[in-house]
Amino acid sequence: MGSRSSGETMFKILHAEFLAPGIKRFVIEAPRIARKQRPGQFVILRIYEEGERIPLTIEQSDPERGTINLVVQSLGKTTNLLNSLGSGDSILDVVGPLGKPSEIEKFGTVVVMGGGVGTAMAYPTAAALKRAGNRVLSIVGARSKELVILERELRAVSDALMITTDDGTYADKGFVTDKLRQLIDNGTRIDLVLAIGPIPMMRAVADMTRKEGIRTIVSLNPIMIDGTGMCGGCRVLVDGKSQFACVDGPEFDAHRIDFAVLVQRNGMYRTAEQKSMGDFQHDREALLEKIHAEQAAECALPGGGR
């Protein structure tokens, strides 16, 4: 470990597989987190010494095996780098479970909506809501057929599953809000909507349900650093007041969120993020080689690895 002033352990990737192009599921050894995780919570990870810290919602965990699952979509440098790693590789730091768990109780009929990779985050909550005795109607949306994920898993915990693709290559052409509109227009009694996905999707759902007076929960993913309420970088405007997504969320009442401010703040580092991504595409192989070499050195030390 030399003079690195961190702890002794890295977090081993036991298994990794692509669920769809650019969307990968990881099974990671993290016994302490696995023991405590509940649906809706997240981890913050840092892949290597020079890496940034990013939050990722935990898809599910296995307390017996001591593992957590993460489903990651390649977006910027860090997620692309993570999705370049596989079984046998390690992640330098994983901390959690962070944030408040989803509110799970018997609401009645709950519509669970997942947009893109958000489906993976909606799935564990849908399962928990089903176990709590709710009627669960799930709506999943993706850009096209190959990006529809967790269909089988979600179907197993849903009373009904509706799927939309933007381009109509699978199931119904359209957006998840079209399906929600149909449910509302058919007179379906909806006690709660849970929507997890890209901000425009969550915002569109919130706009629709606000008019109908249907309580709606969204899971937010603003820029974060520590994840423990220390930095305030992830503050979101809720009813005009600052709340921290890391400790007060990540789930919030969609009708009280200022989505415009969320979009604005998430764009704060766009220029730097684009530079990072450009550099990464250029130096991808060299960076991977460096990370592999560092991990090998780490594991060779007594007390290193797991």
Q: What does the binding site for other proteins look like in residue numbers (CB under 8 A)?
A: 3-9, 32-33, 36, 46, 50-53, 77-78, 92-98, 225-233, 235, 237, 242, 247, 258, 261, 264-265, 267-269, 271-273, 275-276, 279
- Smallest separation (angstroms) from other proteins to the CB of 33: 7
204, 257 in Cβ contact below 8 A?
no
Pick the closest to residue 121 from 221, 253, 257, 52 (CA basis). Answer: 221
Q: Which is nearer to other proteins, 87 or 242 (CB)?
A: 242
Q: Where are the beta strands (DSSP E) in 92-134?
A: 93-98, 109-115
- Smallest separation (angstroms) from other proteins to the CB of 36: 6
Specify the amino acid at residue 132. Answer: A
Report how far residue 294's alpha carbon sits from residue 211's, in angstroms, rounded to the nearest whole number.
54
- Smallest separation (angstroms) from other proteins to the CB of 93: 4
181, 190 in Cβ contact below 8 A?
no
Q: Which is nearer to other proteins, 174 or 304 (CB)?
A: 304
Residues in the chain: 306
Longest dimension (CA), the chain: 65
- Smallest separation (angstroms) from other proteins to the CB of 249: 14
- Smallest separation (angstroms) from other proteins to the CB of 73: 18
Distances (CA, A) of 3 to 8, 48, 103: 12, 16, 43
Q: Which is nearer to other proteins, 63 or 168 (CB)?
A: 63
Q: Which is nearer to other proteins, 50 or 185 (CB)?
A: 50
Q: Which is nearer to other proteins, 208 or 231 (CB)?
A: 231
Q: Which is nearer to other proteins, 85 or 95 (CB)?
A: 95
- Residue 207, C-beta contacts closer than 8 angstroms, at least 6 positions apart: none
- Smallest separation (angstroms) from other proteins to the CB of 276: 6
Radius of gyration of the chain (CA): 20
